[in-house]
Amino acid sequence: MAEVSRLPLVVAEEWDWQLHAACRGVDSGLFFHTDNERGVARERREEQAKAICSRCPVLRECRNHALSVEEPYGIWGGLGESERRELLRQRRRARRSAHVG
């Protein structure tokens, strides 16, 4: 009999949370900046995207996904690119400290 624990997970099981996302059906351009977007325009767009995230029933799943794959672009789980980078830095520091101490 085959060892089923080594079989890959069904993709749908890993991504089902997306079916319940508040951003589903929203123009993805709201969550990702264009190459030349700067300043107030970018801040406004990010605020609008984060407002959608703030009422999302799967915010935690989305955020965990973005952090686990180190998503480099866009608003994910209510966090922007720099916010995710900072959280990842903090996690790495905490892991290093745990190994030292």
Note whether residue 23 is domain-resident: yes
8 is in an annotated binding site: no
Spatial distance between the Cα atoms of 50 and 64, rounded to a whole number of angstroms: 16
Tens digit of pLDDT for each residue in 30-45?
999 999 999 999 999 9
Model confidence at 99, pLDDT cuts 50, 70, 90, reads: confident
CA–CA gap between residue 98 and residue 48 (Å, rounded) = 38
Q: 49 among the known binding-site residues?
A: no
CB 84 within 8 A of CB 92: no
Q: Which domain holds residue 27?
A: 19-99
The pTM is what?
Answer: 0.82
**91, part of any domain:** yes
Q: Minimal CA–CA distance to 60: which of 43, 75, 77, 46?
A: 77
How many domains in the chain?
1
Closest CA to 70 of 55, 56, 83, 54: 83
Q: Do the Cβ atoms of 62 and 76 come closer than 8 Å?
A: yes
In a domain, 74, yes or no: yes
62 is in an annotated binding site: yes
Query: Does 46 fall in a domain?
Result: yes
